Structure 1
C-alpha cells in the first residue's frame, strides 16, 4: 500500500478530533463495507 502524505489525505478525508471522515466531495464515489 502506498504511503500518503497528510496533504493527500486531506483531499479525501476531513480530519477532525483525530478521526477520519470521508470528504463530502468523494463520499458518493467511495463506499466502506
Structure 2
C-alpha cells in the first residue's frame, strides 16, 4: 500500500507538468497562427 501511495504521489505532479506543458504548447501555436 505504501508503494502504491508513493507511485501516485510521483505520478500526479508529473501529469500536471505534462498537462501544463501541453496547454503552453497549444497557446504558443495559437499565437504563431495569429
Q: TM-score range by the shorter chain?
A: under 0.3
Q: TM-score, normalised by structure 1?
A: 0.27
Higher helix share: 2
Higher strand share: 1
Whose radius of gyration is greater, 1 or 2? 2
